[in-house]
Amino acid sequence: MPTRASSGLTVLFFASARQATGTPRLTIEANEGCTLSELANTLVTRYGPQFAAVMESCAVWVNGEPAAADSVLHAGDEVAVLPPVSGG
């Protein structure tokens, strides 16, 4: 199986996701063609159980559009981790 080239992705964290990671933005190297699910697993491994708990209720968008777990990521993509918003 050929090795996939790696590429830089920007991940933006909002609200409780930002609190769980301690950062609003991350540039991460990921294999070209990796899925959103693979990226999420990498982030959970990196940031631990508090982030994993937050991710369970988050929406994830890629390049300004809602994305499914099996969405394929490409070099330069921007991934946003969006916890639910409560209002009042």
- Cα–Cα distance, 68 to 2 (Å, whole number): 25
The verdict on residue 87 lying in a domain is no
- Cα–Cα distance, 36 to 70 (Å, whole number): 6
Query: For residue 21, what are the CA distances in angstroms to 43, 70, 86?
Result: 9, 23, 20
pTM over 0.85: yes
79 with 36: CB under 8 angstroms?
yes
CATH number of the domain that residue 47 is part of: 3.10.20.30
Q: What is the pLDDT of residue 6?
A: 59
Q: What is the pLDDT of residue 13?
A: 98
Q: Which residues of the chain have pLDDT under 70?
A: 1-7, 86-88
Q: What is the pLDDT of residue 33?
A: 85
The verdict on residue 38 lying in a domain is yes
Residue among 3, 9, 11, 16 nearest 58 (CA): 16
Q: What is the pLDDT of residue 31?
A: 84
Overall domain count for the chain: 1
Q: What is the pLDDT of residue 3?
A: 45
Q: Which residue range forms the structural domain that includes residue 11? A: 6-82
